[in-house]
Structure 1
């Protein structure tokens, strides 16, 4: 059972409490019946019910759990002929499962892991456990002077006053990917607290504030551009000087930080494989959805292997949820022609700017 907290970490065990007391200064558990009174919390969810619906058609992801033989044809299985091995116990390897059948008493799946690289492997070597984040960004056309923020932890207390030590002031909780409007800020105990409604306060360290920046030099007043803030872990779509959409992302972790600067995309792909190594482990992801590369191997794209948006998680790219990656891909230029899986920007259609900043 998970504890509810002030964004300072789950209070589920004495050990966890002691560790977080040392690291963060305080952890506040919710005693039974501790809510001060029944109130309507001023927050709204920004999540979709079926994240997989926003993937390109034909995506059925599975993780390879061990090294296995790959057979080019079903007839090769009985003959014990394998043309390669796929999988590594120490690697994160994902494939796209195209179909599954029975051979004798065993199940085999026909999988793709790279362009033109497909074959049959034992189905029992696959774990069908992708992580499709429900995160959906927010439209900003009517933002005005309002400051919006999004929760990036599982649950966060809403309090009648910015005092984390008073159990009697807890009004309720808001959830991961809930959106709030910030009406006031108060500094308490070295931390910012945000007022999201009269007598409703949250700890500011566990939400990401959407703070649109100014259009960078070089971007025209009528051009689209994507602002990625690696400090706030946010991405904001702009049309000239107007922010139109904002969401949480995951950029590169320390040691593999996302490159900063102003870039044009060099290629956009409906899906493509990604592989590499980071932090002592290799990774191999099949058919990563909605990719826009903007500098070498740096790009923004959909993600099916984690749901930790609002925190740095990647090996350098800008990770997005399935919905958000699809939204940005459909909004950004150039448009992917019908029946095509990729497009390269040209001088006449150079693509939507990407501005990565701190």
Structure 2
């Protein structure tokens, strides 16, 4: 009997303990006053002592670590003086045919000299209609109007910086849809980036075997269609002065650094295979306000009159303005670094003979064999 009573007592105690534990599980904890656990919405780059940065705070902090502020912080930059885009010349693009040079307008026949077929641009100082249309070149020769006047010279200009930005940035070189996430199959936001619009790049991600750039919260662009400046204020190995020109062949951009600060950046057009722009460390050895560039190889003839703001750094390869180009952002040249007229003018004013030019291609696709880098360039 005593044994049975003992067992009943133990069962009662066990049942009471079980009910107490169940009650504790079902009863919600008493919440402290508002703000005692979840932080007020803000950016918390270090862990706070008296709250947990959940919800909006976590989202804002994540954006802040990427460099995104609300509202977005503009780049510390502005356009250069627009007067730098002006040229004192008029240009004429010749047809790919033999074009004679005459001693006077209105002449006919073969002429004393002629331009062979090729990529030919001449400058002219007068135009007359006399038994046809003729153009007077600065050297006194006249050419018939076999071609077209250059009516559109790119007014594109890069950016001058007052301080070094915290993030990379770039220019979209065609109309691009903004996606809600990286990838070709992602939903579109309904908004677009215009050609040569500047975007700040906060993050990158590989999707569909392509690199995608985050330009804002839930905003992504296809990276291969953006000319990106990867900001790097570290002096390149081999450069012995705290001012240099950085040419990024992979991104088709140019950046200028002085006193470990980015001061200028823009989009370029470098050498197209097999006329690559050679990677390496170089120095500007000659500056010319205007230059005539030509190649006498009749299989690849070119003649470019009054090329503005030319800075030679690697044999016949130079940094210079390209009045014949209206688009930049991809390789097109015979080895030179082509810039818009305004950008070449800005760079010419800044640069001095002896300044360093650092040309690089992180993809390793540009060959470095010196034997491949001979002949002319434009």
TM-score (norm 1): 0.71
- 1:32-43 matched pairs, under 5 angstroms: none
- Structure-1 residue corresponding to 2:354: 351
1:138 to 159, 165, 180: 159
- Is the aligned partner of 1:271 residue 2:290? yes
Question: Paired residues, what number?
Answer: 288
Structure 2: gaps of 5 or more residues: 1-70, 362-378
2:115 to 54, 65, 86: 86
- Give the Cα separation in 1 of the matches to 2:100 and 2:298: 27
Compare the two structures and name the one with the higher helix fraction.
2
Please give the per-residue CA displacement for 1:258-314, whole angstroms capped at 9, x wherever unaligned. 122222222111111111278953211111111001122010100022233221111
- Give the Cα separation in 2 of the matches to 1:193 and 1:260: 26
Name which of structure 1's ranges 130-139 and 236-245 shifts more when overlaid on structure 2: 130-139
SS of the equivalent of 2:301 reads: strand
Cα distance, 1:198 vs. partner? 1.5
Compare the two structures and name the one with the higher strand fraction.
1
SS of the equivalent of 1:330 reads: helix
- Is the aligned partner of 1:120 residue 2:123? no
SS of the equivalent of 1:314 reads: coil
- Give the Cα separation in 2 of the matches to 1:197 and 1:171: 14
- Structure-1 residue corresponding to 2:324: 305
Cα distance, 1:62 vs. partner? 0.9
1:67 to 98, 120, 132: 98
Structure 1: gaps of 5 or more residues: 1-39, 334-349
Q: For residues 142 and 47 of structure 1, do their structure 2 counterparts lie closer, same or farther at Cα, with a shift above 3 Å needed?
A: closer
- Structure-1 residue corresponding to 2:177: 157
Is the contact between residue 278 and residue 315 of structure 1 (CA under 8 Å) also seen in structure 2?
A: no
1:287 to 291, 295, 306: 306
Please give the per-residue CA displacement for 1:93-136, whole angstroms capped at 9, x wherever unaligned. 11101101233x43321024xxxx4401223x131136522322
Is the contact between residue 225 and residue 240 of structure 1 (CA under 8 Å) also seen in structure 2?
A: no
- Give the Cα separation in 1 of the matches to 2:228 and 2:298: 29
Is the contact between residue 251 and residue 318 of structure 1 (CA under 8 Å) also seen in structure 2?
A: yes
- RMSD over equivalenced CA pairs, Å: 3.1
SS of the equivalent of 1:325 reads: helix
2:219 to 200, 206, 231: 200
Cα distance, 1:80 vs. partner? 6.3
SS of the equivalent of 1:205 reads: helix
TM-score (norm 2): 0.68
